[in-house]
Structure 1
Amino acid sequence: MLIDGLQCGHFTRETFSELRKADVGAVTVTCGFWEGTVESLDSIARWRDLVNANKDLVAIGTSVKEIEAITASGRTAIILGFQNSNLLEGRVRFVELFAELGVRAIQLTYNNQNELGGSCYEDEDSGLSRTGKEIVREMNRTGILVDLSHVGNRTTKDAIIHSEKPVAVTHANPDSLFPHKRNKTDDVLRVLAEKGGVLGCATYRNITGDHYCSSLRNWCEMVAKSVDIMGVDHVAIGTDRSHNFTKPDYDWMRMGRWTRGIDYGAASAARPGKAPPPAWFQEVHHLGLLPGGLKEVGFNAEEVEKITSRNWLRLYGEVFGAAEQVREARLEFVQSDPVLATTPRAAAS
């Protein structure tokens, strides 16, 4: 089984079939970038419809137990995530509401500074704000993974230290291997590992570089160098693969509503359009090549399993379990209240 910590785009039945061909057991999908609360609810609803229409291939997973059960049934678990915190619109109580709807990952910032902290593209990284600290702790409490992929290095380190649960950089690479604002410095990655977090190594060419994209072996060597920095228990896969995106999608992803001008995101004026996928990853089902590629660069079977699935499952177990605790606490409250306990809904529970 392989787990991909982050993908985005317009998923279709063909996409799901390709994931199954590669034996992808779980994938975190991107439900939004710049969308506010109502738009994010629409996105979750569309995802529920899409999954229901393809329930022979996929199902939404909200816990390790569910992910393992979905995988055992021959399907791929869909983990709902957002690449920004705009869905909360500054309301800390919305964290729990979205957790109850099945959201299991939220990135604190996308490409711009927000009220939680600094983005990787700002000239000055403000660090984790007071609001950010409150949101991180609420995400800890409700079982949502704190994602720091597009977050500035200072804010990333602040969030790692402030969080009571391990956090993730779901789709980035070490800056020391390929310098880019989207990638993380070694000191940040070491703190991430010390606190039990996970880095999902990306295949997105703009933050991975032509060398590491030129062959499966080269990309797997990048993973091996990431392990040298962080340890084998803290490195996983987070491809950042996009599906069926066209220019309007890339324009929205990079510019949203915040500018009248042109912003290239992780691209550049010299390479403004869609970045070509790695030479070895032309089709989605080529993800299935990764276990063999990792073995070729020297990882043993146990280490391959950690990188391709067990590290994510360990992290998900430590984080997602809090959602079950919140539900159990609410049920205990209902059952202990003499009025609520006699209602038909409580009795049915």
Structure 2
Amino acid sequence: MLIDALQCGEFSRDVFERLLKGRYTCVTPTLGFWEGTLESMDSLGRWRDMERDNADLIRIVRRAEDIRRCERDGKLGILLGYQNSNLFEGRIRFPELFADMGVRVVQLTYNNQNDVCGSCYEDEDSGLTRFGRELLGEMARVGIMVDCSHVGDRSTLEAIEHSPKPIAVTHANAASIFPHKRNRSDDVLKALRQSGGVIGAAAYRNITPERACADLVAFCEMIARMVEIAGIDHVGLGTDYSYKNDDRFREWMRKGRWTRSVQYGAGSAAVPGAVAKPDWLKGPESLIDIEGGLRQIGFQPAEIAKIMGGNWLRLYETVFG
């Protein structure tokens, strides 16, 4: 089983075919970054159209058993997720409505502080707001997994503490391995271990060591170090792999509607635009090669199965059944 807990960009039939060729069982696409309720519903509608148009290839999954069914019948499971909680627009009743429409993953905030918590890019992480604590309880109740990949460390630790169910960091690496605001501290990784959460190792060049981008075995060694910190049951894959990511798409990701100024996201003035995929991950079909890399550095088959997808499946089952 191969599960990638976060990808983004423009999905289409040719992307689904590539993912199936790469033996993916399930992937979480990004349905939105800054969109409000109505725009987020538009995105859901488009994905339902895509499911109908590509019913021979994909299935929108709502429960862990749906993912197992995809594995059995050779379809690609689509776990619907958003990288911001803007879709709720501050309304405590909306998580239940979006859960009923099939949403299963929502990141608390993207690159800015919002009405829920602080982001990793703010000078000061405010922690969870009162609404944020209410939202965590409601998301747990209706079966939406909390994601804290772009959330500040203080807010992430408070989310782990206050959430009735384990949470995720779907696409980040350990800051102790590669210091970056987008990566998570050892305290967060250890808290995930204690609470039953999972972190997805990212393959996005701006937040990944250059050596781990140049060589598959070095990437697997990075995963091994994350396992040392978080534990074998709490590390998976969340590549942040993107499709058809052009300048317009990047501008929306980085700026939304909130600014006219230059924003680099995880990049910098030195690396302002698109970055190359890791040398060993030129296409999504290559992700399955991690199995061999993990085996080469000493992981056992049962451990490899957990990293490749088993840990995500367990967390999904815990959060939404």
What TM bracket, shorter-length normalisation? over 0.9
For residue 51 of structure 2, give the secondary structure of its aligned residue in structure 1.
helix
Matches within 5 A, 1:1-349: 1-321=1-321
| Structure 1 CA distance for aligned equivalents of residues 288 and 56 of structure 2 | 20
| Structure 1 CA distance for aligned equivalents of residues 287 and 188 of structure 2 | 28
**Normalised by the size of structure 2, how large is the TM-score?**
0.99
| Structure 2 CA distance for aligned equivalents of residues 178 and 172 of structure 1 | 10
* 1:212-265, Cα deviation, whole Å (9 max, x unpaired): 111100100000000000110000000000111110000000000000111000
Structure 1, unaligned runs of 5 or more: 322-349
* 1:115-151, Cα deviation, whole Å (9 max, x unpaired): 1010000000000110000011000000000000000
For residue 242 of structure 1, give the secondary structure of its aligned residue in structure 2.
strand
For residue 236 of structure 1, give the secondary structure of its aligned residue in structure 2.
strand
Q: Which amino acid aligns with 1:265?
A: G
* 1:19-53, Cα deviation, whole Å (9 max, x unpaired): 11111000111000000000000000001111211
| Structure 2 CA distance for aligned equivalents of residues 86 and 209 of structure 1 | 31
* Residues 160 and 192, structure 1, Cα contact 8 Å, conserved in 2: yes
For residue 200 of structure 1, give the secondary structure of its aligned residue in structure 2.
strand
For residue 239 of structure 1, give the secondary structure of its aligned residue in structure 2.
coil
- Structure 1 residue 11: Cα displacement: 0.6
Moved over 2 A (4+): none
| Structure 2 CA distance for aligned equivalents of residues 314 and 21 of structure 1 | 24
For residue 79 of structure 2, give the secondary structure of its aligned residue in structure 1.
strand
| Structure 2 CA distance for aligned equivalents of residues 302 and 15 of structure 1 | 29
* Residues 35 and 87, structure 1, Cα contact 8 Å, conserved in 2: yes
**Normalised by the size of structure 1, how large is the TM-score?**
0.91
* 1:60-112, Cα deviation, whole Å (9 max, x unpaired): 00101111112211011000000000000000100000000000000001000
| Structure 2 CA distance for aligned equivalents of residues 53 and 206 of structure 1 | 35
* 1:138-174, Cα deviation, whole Å (9 max, x unpaired): 0000000000000000000000010110100000000
- Structure 1 residue 290: Cα displacement: 1.3
For residue 171 of structure 2, give the secondary structure of its aligned residue in structure 1.
strand
* Residues 22 and 285, structure 1, Cα contact 8 Å, conserved in 2: yes
For residue 28 of structure 2, give the secondary structure of its aligned residue in structure 1.
strand
| Structure 2 CA distance for aligned equivalents of residues 200 and 303 of structure 1 | 15
* Residues 64 and 316, structure 1, Cα contact 8 Å, conserved in 2: yes
* Residues 173 and 207, structure 1, Cα contact 8 Å, conserved in 2: yes
| Structure 1 CA distance for aligned equivalents of residues 56 and 47 of structure 2 | 15
* Residues 21 and 288, structure 1, Cα contact 8 Å, conserved in 2: no
Q: Which amino acid aligns with 1:273?
A: G
Q: Which residue of 2 aligns with 1:342?
A: none
| Structure 1 CA distance for aligned equivalents of residues 225 and 165 of structure 2 | 26
- Structure 1 vs Structure 2 CA RMSD: 0.6
| Structure 1 CA distance for aligned equivalents of residues 294 and 272 of structure 2 | 31
Report percent identity of matched pairs: 55
| Structure 1 CA distance for aligned equivalents of residues 52 and 291 of structure 2 | 30
For residue 80 of structure 2, give the secondary structure of its aligned residue in structure 1.
strand
Structure 2, unaligned runs of 5 or more: none
| Matched positions, count | 321
For residue 105 of structure 2, give the secondary structure of its aligned residue in structure 1.
strand
| Structure 1 CA distance for aligned equivalents of residues 284 and 318 of structure 2 | 29
- Structure 1 residue 209: Cα displacement: 2.6
Q: Which amino acid aligns with 1:83?
A: Q
| Structure 2 CA distance for aligned equivalents of residues 292 and 124 of structure 1 | 41
